Amino acid sequence: MNTETLEKNANHAATAPAYFSAYNLHSYYGESYIVQGVSFNVHEGEILALLGRNGAGKSSTLRTIARMEDPELRKGELHLDHQTLHDKASYQAAQMGVGLVPETRSIIQGLTVEENIKLAQIAPPIGWSIDRVYDLFPRLGERRKQEGTTLSGGEQQMLAIGRALARDLKLLLLDEPYEGLAPVIVQEIEKTLHYIREQGITTIIVEQNAVAALKLADRAVILETGKVVFDGTAKEVLDNEDLRHEYLAI
């Protein structure tokens, strides 16, 4: 992609009004420089696919947004719903409405499905009721007394998303939500994410199944070695074979 296009995309990301914005993020694991000046915007109720090859910095960018201790954000700004996020700790980001569903799903061992959800509601602000989560994921309601870590992979993903919704969720961060799931379960998760978008919740999804993510998303940002190389619509990526081949190997 030429320099003029990259500059245009970066300027758009930095200046366009948005519900969530990341500007000039620089994050490190120790002295390993992982996120190298990433900027992009996401509008309210929008789904953004954050794509790139393995090692491009996608998961690290999500963890930076969620204000996890690793990687360390050494420069840059994060804003959510007109509030600064870059100066917050992870628990404060959660209180502001940021929900990270990691690739590991982080279901708490020894707790039932319902206890995992209730744990998210110990402190305000509280989001969806447990019954509403069960309405969205009936399987969780059927297994409410079952230990969360004994669920199938798809059910654990439902639990991780449901637990995030149990908070007052504004920004949902999904890291490889389709990993290891059967196609029929992927379709079920996709329907869920469409419904969540209809509720006005903003979502950023990192997914190796780039085509599936692009079909779900409104817009896409592609990373290459920790830098933004594309910022545009999902359709533009789907329609541009050269772009997909160069940066996504598809």
Exposure of 149 in the CB half-sphere (CA atoms within 13 A): 7
Q: Which two tokens stand for residue 199?
A: 């509720």
107 vs 5, more confident: 107
DSSP H/E element including 31: none
- Strand ranges in 65-182 using DSSP code E only, listed in sequence order: 72-80, 83-84, 98-101, 171-175
Distance, CA of 54 to chain centre: 16
- The arithmetic mean of pLDDT across residues 91-110, rounded, is 96
Q: Is the C-alpha dihedral spanning 106, 107, 110, 114 positive or negative?
A: positive
pLDDT tens-digit series, residues 156-210:
999 999 999 999 999 999 999 999 999 999 999 999 999 999 999 999 999 999 9
Q: What is the pLDDT of residues 121-157, one digit of tens each?
A: 998 899 999 999 999 999 999 999 999 999 999 999 9
Q: Is the dihedral of CA 215, 221, 224, 230 positive or negative?
A: positive
Instruction: State the average pLDDT for the chain.
Output: 93
Range 1-95+217-250: architecture per CATH: 3-Layer(aba) Sandwich (3.40)
Question: What is residue 17's predicted lDDT score, i.e. its pLDDT?
Answer: 63
Over pLDDT 90: what percentage of the chain? 91
CA atoms within 13 A on the CB side of 175: 19
| Reported confidence tier of residue 18, pLDDT bands at 50, 70, 90 | confident
pTM as predicted = 0.91
Which pLDDT does position 10 carry in this prediction?
45
Q: Can you give the residue ranges of every domain in the chain?
A: 1-95+217-250
